Amino acid sequence: MRIGRKREIARRRWSFLFACLSTLIAISIARGEDSTSKYLKGVNVVTYDGFIAGDGGRCAIRWLEFLREMDFVANQSTKLKLITHVEHSKQIESMNKYKEMLNKPISTWTAEDWRQWDNDIEIRDGFIGVPRLSVVITTVELESDCAAVITGEAKATLKPSAMLSTGTPVGHPDFSIWSKTRTLKAPHQSFSRLALGETAEMIRRFVNDWTNSQNLP
């Protein structure tokens, strides 16, 4: 009985929080969803992944369907290349021209060899650090419906830095270059389908904002 009471209180809190968040996001969306970012300009490749958190049960979202939905939308992008982490790793492994140079004794390297080495390493490091887009769905089971908060965020890896307050070195800090949040509330029967649709819309929104950002001065 006590467990049931705690669960009911938790659901009420989630309902209230969801209502407040929905209002704030609705106001933001009403002001216009299209946006630009100077940090997206010039970006050519972005990796993407997704996560599902929160309640399961009647509000569960099938993992494989979630991945397929993201892959389908990502593959429609032509100018901006969206790739999975697996594909990203494979392409990094294929960038091994610099390894071939090690077959030649370093003591015999010419100035041109060193220039080629530095260039290959720079290209590889730049590809390793391409921005990363993550879409996260957090589900909540309400009394008679399901709700979700869907967030999308793209992060870029920066060069080594340090904390202003202490001077402590930070190897490769992350910096958020784009983010959006959407909410969803629907009956159990249609919740999963609508949540997957919002996932696709989040990626489309990112691609649209990327496209608009390419025209920035």
Q: For 146-169, how does the pLDDT look when each residue is reduced to its tens digit (9 = 90+)?
A: 999 999 999 999 999 999 999 999
CB 40 within 8 A of CB 170: no
Query: Is pLDDT of 26 > 50?
Result: no
CB atoms within 10 A of CB 122: 10
Q: For the chain, what is the domain count?
A: 1
pLDDT tens by residue, 95-147: 877 677 777 888 888 899 888 888 888 888 899 999 999 999 999 988 889 99
Q: Residue 98: inside a domain, yes or no? A: no
- The domain in which residue 158 lies consists of 2-81+131-213
Q: Residue 37: inside a domain, yes or no? A: yes
Point out the least confidently predicted range of 63-67, 74-78, 118-122, 169-173.
118-122
Q: Residue 110: inside a domain, yes or no? A: no
